[in-house]
Structure 1
Amino acid sequence: MNALKLILLVAVIWLPTVFFFSKSTPPEVQENYVEMEDQVFELQKSLRMLQEMNRDLKYKLKELVLEEETAREVTLKKRKGMWSKHSYNAGEYERGRRKLERGLWEILISLSLNDSVRSTNYREHTENKLVSLLATSSKLDLITDRKKSSLRSITDIIQKELNTSQHIDDCSKVKFLGCSLPGSCGFGCQVHHLTYCLLVAFASSRVLVIRKNAWGYHREGWAGAFHPPSTCQLPEEVNWSTKESKATDERSPAPSVNSLETPFSDQKFFSLDPIMTSSYRPDYLPLSIPKPVADQLIALHSNPPVFFIGQFARFILNPKPSLQKFVDISASQVPFNSGPIVGVHVRRTDKIDWKEAKYHPVSEYMRWCEIYFQIQERRLKHPLRRKVYVASDDPSVIREIREKYPNYDVFGDVAFAESAQNHSGRYSERSLRGLVTDVFLLSKCDYLVCGLSSHLCRLAYELMQVVHDGDAGDRVRSLDEMYYFGGQHPHEYVAIEEHTPQYSKEISLEIGDVIEFKTNLWNGYFEGGGEVENCGISCFGEIFEIFSMK
């Protein structure tokens, strides 16, 4: 702008001078002045064009800087338009019902495990009363059909959008996100890694491709057993990264590291490291839920992040016909449609040997199976035949349950457990068939008793949210961890009432305090992070879990 003013000033001074001297100069000099005058006007014209180009460049630069945010906002608006058609408002009633049911469960768990309650008669009487209250609580869900319909519609829409995002007509125009199967972990861990990859691919409008490398479970790799997530093939000229990543504690979020490149960048191919070691830490990682569907899910579902993650896990686990046929034959031998059945997953061998999980006897699992059936009998007002589907990597578990619990119909294949028991046979096609069958059949059960420290248990729980109509978020009893997704953002709770500590281990709370919980200790206490130590059973009613919406 200053340059233009200078040119104009020069022109104002120059043109009168030219006019004055044109009266007394030869014709050839006058021609030179006219030519110079034309050049000045051309220069002014060029400067105006440069200014316009400069403005255009500034706008384009601004667009590039905001490219990721704009792309995500456009995608979110499109999805909100689709998902909002199935909105549903449960209001305070639904939140109150969930608070009541969760509080009852916490008291029941605390009573059953707390040795300080010395009177056996008192404890049994209280537990029976709580079972009755839980049965009543489940009846309070007066709007089940509407909830089922809405959740089913959201599931259909998400699956359709996943399918549309990964099956592109013109593959030459797509951007790819590459994902390798980590060789240092088992089947459940690998599926969760692919689920994370699909989540990032979906958010960044990329097509997911799984590296065609050796896979212990199948000689032809992932594509030998499952349909690939996309029909597009990665161009041959693309080189995969060979960088190895070191494993870390999957329950602790990885540190955030700034990176110049993200999946939203312009490059044709982006290779994604495992979530535990990746420097890419977007805000939409679990346990976040997407804004377009957040209000509906919070109203409809007791655990919205698990519902959303389950959609991606189900899309990844798409068996090819031969494997699907094997699963279907096994499922046909279990009476899923003739009364409630509980899925029991008992992880032993390496989880116990490597101190990744605490040992729990069979009796602990069966205790919660019995409590579930007692609640259902109170609710339905008629006796129920006890049925369990048992999955384990220890064949003796299935035999023990059959021997010690003759009043239970026990379903489960000992051969599956035998193939998973030894490390040498665990990574094989035979073992894969057993693992896939177990996880799908566990997800079809009405209730799940397991340890959520196990990837397979968490995977079955995630798939339950897609397999079952309605809210299956409360259909699990974990003997160890609360639900988590490796590398996730932390569990956060907000205080909705003030709390004065009742015991020495507890903390005080003010309304609005946000607490991060690492795990539920299942003894009436949550273990917190940072400055927070513990939140006991007496403060459970004063906190409410909050979810990040991205």
Structure 2
Amino acid sequence: PYHVGLSELEKWLIVNKTRQTFAQLYEETRLRLFADVRRLQQGTDCSNAKYLACSMLNKPCNFGCQVHTIADCMTSALLTNRTAVLLPSQLYRYGPECSSQWHCFFLPLASCQRHAATVNDTLWHPWTSGGTHPYAVYNAWGEDENRVPPYLSVLDDTMFDAADPKPSAACLLTGVLMSWLLRPNERVAAAIAHRRHSLGLEGAPFHVGVHVRRSDKRYEATTFGLQH
């Protein structure tokens, strides 16, 4: 029931994983995930779209904290076949030059935006019987434990059984979401291009790695040993 947005992808994986090389499977899976993200986030029928508002509860956390939370919200949007949107007033400001907040650095999360919520909108949650409501709110910081669905298995790790070393399907999904979230806007892209030119790196391969913690940093520090 939690795989509405990715049902076609799953059917394709079942049929194809036994006859594809690992490299082909990995790349085609990535492209199909991107296609699903684009379908939901770059739709044109805004009046009939179903939205999931990523609520930050005005929590003054910094960039890593924010991008982690938004990626979590986007996972729920994928699974409930909704368009994830940000509430601009709820994003932490990095400085006076960033009045547009998230969009000060990155492209808009979605082509359709809905920011005006009604009084009853906060009562709807994407995993409850109200999941058919066109506007749901996902609060990653204040979720009632009983309202959160079972483990959100978007991709099955067994799809990579033939690989050695075996990668994590969850890491593949996170990577796709990060690459969507962190698309630089025109201003930032120009700054990156200028810097590459000044370093003589034009035309050279350009790779970016992003690390997202599994949990809050305090919990991470007390739960997992340094070596782990």
**TM-score, structure 1 as length reference:** 0.34
Alignment match of 2:190 (pick from 302, 308, 325): 325
- The alpha carbon displacement at 1:200 in A equals 0.8
Partner residue of 2:219? Answer: none
Partner residue of 2:171? Answer: 306
The structure in which a higher percent of residues are strand is: 1
Matched, 1:486 2:215: yes
Partner residue of 2:136? Answer: 270
Superimposed CA distance per residue, residues 212-270 of structure 1 (whole angstroms, 9 cap, x where no aligned partner): 2164122112123222221112164535989xxxxxxxxxxxxxxxxx95304122222
Partner residue of 1:211? Answer: 87
Q: Write the mapping of 1:396-545 to structure 2, written as runs, cut at 5 A.
A: 442-443=208-209, 460-461=210-211, 484-486=213-215, 518-522=223-227
Q: Distance in 2 between matches of 1:236 and 1:442?
A: 35
Q: Distance in 2 between matches of 1:262 and 1:237?
A: 13
Paired residue type of 1:220: S
The answer to whether the 8 A contact 1:89-1:296 is kept is no
Alignment match of 2:48 (pick from 173, 181, 190): 173
Q: Distance in 2 between matches of 1:166 and 1:267?
A: 18
Alignment match of 1:197 (pick from 69, 73, 78): 73
Partner residue of 1:315? Answer: 180
The answer to whether the 8 A contact 1:89-1:299 is kept is no
Paired residue type of 1:303: S
Superimposed CA distance per residue, residues 307-343 of structure 1 (whole angstroms, 9 cap, x where no aligned partner): 221111211112111112222333453769989xxxx
SS in 1 for 2:224: strand
Relative contact order: is structure 1 or structure 2 higher (C-alpha 8 Å, sep ≥ 6)?
2
SS in 2 for 1:272: strand
Partner residue of 1:469? Answer: none
Paired residue type of 2:39: T
Q: Any stretches of 5+ residues in structure 1 without a counterpart? A: 1-68, 91-145, 243-259, 340-439, 444-459, 463-483, 488-517, 527-550
The answer to whether the 8 A contact 2:3-2:80 is kept is no
Alignment match of 2:26 (pick from 129, 139, 151): 151
Partner residue of 1:295? Answer: 158
Alignment match of 1:81 (pick from 11, 14, 18): 11
- Aligned CA RMSD, in angstroms, stands at 3.4
The answer to whether the 8 A contact 2:6-2:78 is kept is no
Q: Any stretches of 5+ residues in structure 2 without a counterpart? A: 217-222
Cα 1:461–1:268 change in 2 (3 A) is same
Paired residue type of 2:150: D
SS in 1 for 2:29: helix
Q: Write the mapping of 1:82-121 to structure 2, written as runs, cut at 5 A.
A: 82-84=12-14, 86-88=16-18
Paired residue type of 1:262: H
Cα 1:237–1:336 change in 2 (3 A) is closer
Cα 1:202–1:289 change in 2 (3 A) is closer
- The alpha carbon displacement at 1:208 in A equals 1.0
Q: Distance in 2 between matches of 1:173 and 1:442?
A: 36
The answer to whether the 8 A contact 1:86-1:153 is kept is no
Q: Distance in 1 between matches of 2:4 and 2:105?
A: 35
Partner residue of 1:160? Answer: 35
Matched, 1:185 2:61: yes
Superimposed CA distance per residue, residues 23-51 of structure 1 (whole angstroms, 9 cap, x where no aligned partner): xxxxxxxxxxxxxxxxxxxxxxxxxxxxx
- The alpha carbon displacement at 1:284 in A equals 3.5
Q: Distance in 1 between matches of 2:87 and 2:4?
A: 30
Q: Distance in 2 between matches of 1:302 and 1:180?
A: 31
Aligned positions, number: 209
Q: Distance in 2 between matches of 1:237 and 1:180?
A: 12
Identity of aligned residues (%): 19
The answer to whether the 8 A contact 2:55-2:86 is kept is yes
- The alpha carbon displacement at 1:183 in A equals 3.7
